[in-house]
A and B are shown apart, each in its own frame.
Chain A
Amino acid sequence: MLLQVDGVTLRFAGNTVLDSVDFAVGEGVITSLIGPNGAGKTSLFNSVTGFYRPQQGKIEFDGNRLTKQKPHRVTQLGIARTFQNVRLFREMSVLENVMSGMHCRTHCGALSAVLRTPRQQKEERWIHEASNECLEFVGIDHFRDRLATNLPYGYQRRVEIARALATQPKLLLLDEPAAGLNSGEKDELINLIRRIRDERGTSVLLIEHDMGLVMQVSESIHVLDHGRMIANGTAEEVQNNPRVVEAYLGQEEEELEL
């Protein structure tokens, strides 16, 4: 298993957000994490990426213990993520945004920058090339010099994915990547997620409310409800699981879309 979460419990001021959650993501698998609003999906993401410190449990990734690691270390170890509400560096160009992902894969410091050493020049060229490649991969390289904030929302989401890919992750966490996209854009997203796995060999874990997309793209689905993992399996198994149906009862029909 690439990512292994064992008995993770997270509490905020007496509220148990995650209740001894067990969970795993296999290498080269597209996995989805679903559940009603407030189930603790994003909290689980934040625990994995080092933003939250779970009180109990163990998180292991690719042979490294992630518990108590700082977020930038987690990225360095090979987990990249996007945010539920797009968080680009708004006043910087699209290319510069993607270049930020290369930071943890490069090393040149202040002195080599001031002296413009050959090694630093070579590294800068590599940063540009690799970032451009990521932009081409998500299909928005023609926007590279535009300010991120001036791009339509759907493209901003893709800049975020390109930026995450630039960190050269083994596992990519996508937090509601389809939110706010129209149906054409959703189809492109499904295609992109598959290409990320097939062409780059990056495993993908996504949180998503759009059940159509989840059922189409996921090879493994985990269902979280009130901080507890209540089911896991293939799309079919999960859809027919009575506990999953029960968890979604009381929700509006559109949001269910099972």
Chain B
Amino acid sequence: MSEPNSAETRSEQTPAANGLLDHMYVFFDDVRHRYGFYALVLIVLVVMPLLTGQYITAIMTNALLYVVLCLGLNIVVGYAGLLDLGYAAFFAVGAYTVGILTQEFGMNFWLTIPCAVVTASIAGVVIGGPTLRLRSDYLAIVTLGFGEIVRFSARNLEITGGASGLAAIPSPSLFGWHIDSTLDFYYIFVLLAVVACIASHRLHNSRLGRAWLYVRHDEDAAEVMGINRVRVKLAAYVIGSIFGAMGGAFFAVNLGAISPESFSFEQSVLVLLAVVLGGMGRIPGVILGAFIVVLMPEFLRELGSLRLLIFAVLLLLIMLFRPTGIWPDRRS
């Protein structure tokens, strides 16, 4: 009988420890506040590039790309609880699918998007299928290996352009609007990030989203409730990889050139870092993490060579004082 008591005291302790955060949760519990806040963020995102220079717009575009990637990885790591150290592989699959099809086969960019979805799904099944029976630490090693396999393949295959990659990927147009400038791509990424947020939110509050949480909390109990855990985890892998591939597709046409080094292990780690830093399993936290990981090094640019050291120290401090992330799920 001591079990429920200890749980109760634990939950009573948390509000005192996170006073500000609790106010935030209460604030966002009100639907009007929440939608007001979303509208404000959207207005800021739309107006900002008109007031700032091209450099900041380009950095913000990169931050929005990270939002998409982080939301994708969040489905795998945050919702389904599967540690993935090779997420850049899915990013690469999307980018190379679009790069190869537009540049070497002359396909229309928009038609390559469904192809990227298909190749990403296949990649998700290929990596997920044989590995999902492994426990998290083994899974991490296998995914790390998979990430490297994809990068090495891209570097050594002819069709991917070898170590120099693909260049001169044509920029797309939409109903006569030629998407070309930094600003155009910025708005495309705003749109992509918004779609990714809505999709994440809807998935989280769905039958499949709940199934991910059940499996993460207690695999055996979930199985007893009639949930096919292998299938549910595989779905997380495939959907996460589709998010990554979408980010990769637009990344490829934005830069116009891709090379294997864009999809290094460091890239996987940065995305994972943003997810863990912001708070796994919670969309606002993950978005915050993505912005921090991209923008913080920019703010610290004046420090010169000490930049990455200070960045690392800041990250360590955040994780030390907020081990569940800056804006975690209320429950964890």
Decide yes or no whether B89 CB sits under 8 A from chain A: no
**Cβ A89 vs Cβ B4 within 8 A:** no
CA–CA, A233 and B114, complex, Å: 63
Least Cβ distance of A204 to chain B in Å? Answer: 17
- The answer to the question of A49 belonging to the interface, with a C-beta cut-off of 8 Å to chain B, is yes
B158 contacts the other chain (Cβ, under 8 Å)? Answer: no
> Contact: A81 with B224, CB < 8 Å?
yes
Question: B298 on the interface (CB 8 Å rule)?
Answer: no
- Asked if B277 CB lies within 8 Å of chain A CBs, one says no
Interface pair A123/B207, CB less than 8 Å apart: yes
B180 touches A (CB below 8 Å): no
Find out whether the CB atom of A152 lies under 8 angstroms from the CB atom of B229.
no
* A25–B77 alpha-carbon span in the complex (Å): 43
Tell me whether A147 and B218 are in contact (CB under 8 A): no
Q: Using an 8 Å CB-CB cutoff, how does the interface string of B1-39 with A read, 1 for contact, 0 for none?
A: 101100110010000000000000000000000000000
B239 CB-CB contact with A under 8 Å:
yes
A113 near B209: Cβ-Cβ < 8 Å:
yes
Within the complex, the shortest CB–CB distance from B240 to chain A, in Å, comes to 11
Contact of A167 among B11, B225, B331 (CB under 8 A): B225
Q: In the complex, what's the smallest C-beta–C-beta distance from B227 to chain A, in angstroms? A: 5
Which of the residues B1, B7, B208, B225 comes within 8 Å of A110, measured between beta carbons? B208
Minimum CB–CB distance for B10 against chain A, Å: 9
User: By the criterion CB–CB under 8 Å, are A150 and B8 in contact?
Assistant: yes
* A89 x B224 contact (CB < 8 A): no
Contact check, A113 vs B203: say whether CB atoms are below 8 A apart: yes
B199-236 vs A: 1/0 string, CB under 8 Å?
10011001111110110011011111111110000010
* Contact call B221/A88, Cβ cutoff below 8 A: yes
B332 on interface, CB distance cutoff 8 Å? yes
Q: Which residue of A lies closest to B238 (CB)?
A: A110
Known contacts A92-B331, A103-B207; is-contact A116 B202 (Cβ 8 Å) = yes
Contacts of B198 in A (CB 8 A): 114
- Using C-beta atoms within 8 Å of the partner chain, give the interface range for chain A: 35 or more
From 178 to 200 in chain A, residues with beta carbon under 8 angstroms from any chain B beta carbon are 180
Check A104 against B225 for contact (C-beta < 8 Å): yes
Q: Could you tell me if A103 and B225 are in contact, using CB atoms closer than 8 angstroms?
A: yes
Query: What sequence of 0s and 1s flags, for each residue 69-87 of chain A, a beta carbon within 8 Å of any chain B beta carbon?
Result: 0111001100011010001
A103–B209 Cα distance when bound, in Å, is 11
A87 touches B218 (CB 8 A): yes
Q: Is the CB of B227 within 8 A of A114?
A: no
Which of A75, A89, A105, A147 has the most chain B CB within a 10 Å cutoff? A89
Could you tell me if A100 and B225 are in contact, using CB atoms closer than 8 angstroms?
yes
Partner of A72, one of B8, B210, B213, B228: B228
Is A153's CB under 8 angstroms from B8's CB? no
Contact of A75 among B8, B209, B226, B331 (CB under 8 A): B226
- Please tell me if the beta carbons of B226 and A124 are within 8 angstroms of each other in the complex: no
- CB–CB B224/A110 < 8 A: no
Could you tell me if B226 and A167 are in contact, using CB atoms closer than 8 angstroms? yes
Q: Which residue of B1, B208, B228 contacts A113 across the interface (Cβ within 8 Å)?
A: B208
Q: How far is the CB of A205 from chain B (nearest CB, A)?
A: 15
Q: Given A92-B331, A124-B207, do A153 and B226 touch, yes or no (CB 8 Å)?
A: no
Contacts of A106 in B (CB 8 A): 207
What is the CA–CA distance of A104 and B210 in the complex, to the nearest angstrom? 13
Q: Which residues of chain A are within 8 angstroms of B206 by Cβ–Cβ distance?
A: 108, 110, 113, 120, 124
CB neighbours (8 Å) of B224 from chain A are 49, 71-72, 75, 80-81, 83
Task: Give the residues in chain B near A83, CB-CB below 8 Å.
Answer: 221, 224
Q: A76 CA to B226 CA in the complex, in Å?
A: 6
Among residues of B, the one whose C-beta sits closest to the C-beta of A123 is B207
Contacts A100-B227, A103-B226 hold; do A110 and B203 have CB atoms under 8 A apart?
Answer: yes
Known: A110-B239, A153-B3. A72 touches B223 (CB 8 A): yes
How long is the Cα–Cα vector from A99 to B209 in the complex, in angstroms? Answer: 12
When chains A and B are docked, how far (Å) is the Cα of A151 from the Cα of B3? Answer: 10
Query: Which of chain A's residues have a CB closer than 8 A to the CB of B1?
Result: 152-153, 180
> Once bound together, how far apart are the Cα atoms of A127 and B236, in whole Å?
21
Interface residues in A42-96 (C-beta closer than 8 Å to B): 49, 51, 70-72, 75-76, 80-81, 83, 87-92, 96
Contact B7 A149 (CB under 8 A): yes
**Contacting residues, chain A, for B235 (C-beta < 8 A):** 109-110
Taking the closest CB of chain B, its distance from the CB of A77, in whole angstroms, is 9
A89 touches which of B203, B213, B228, B332 (Cβ 8 Å): B213
- Would you call A92 and B217 a contact (CB within 8 A)? yes
**Which residue of the partner chain B has the closest CB to A180?**
B1
Do A152 and B4 touch (CB < 8 A)? yes
Which residues of the other chain, A, contact B209 by a CB distance below 8 angstroms? 113
Are A87's CB and B221's CB within 8 A? yes
List, in ascending order, chain A residues with CB within 8 A of B220's CB. Answer: 51, 71, 87
Contacts A116-B202, A123-B207 known; 17 new A-B pairs at CB < 8 A: A72-B225, A75-B226, A76-B226, A89-B222, A91-B331, A92-B214, A99-B210, A100-B222, A100-B225, A103-B210, A103-B227, A110-B208, A113-B206, A114-B199, A151-B4, A163-B225, A167-B225
Could you write out 20 A-B pairs with CB less than 8 Å apart? A51-B220, A71-B220, A72-B223, A72-B229, A75-B224, A80-B224, A87-B220, A89-B213, A90-B217, A91-B332, A92-B217, A96-B210, A103-B214, A108-B208, A113-B202, A120-B206, A127-B207, A150-B4, A150-B11, A180-B1
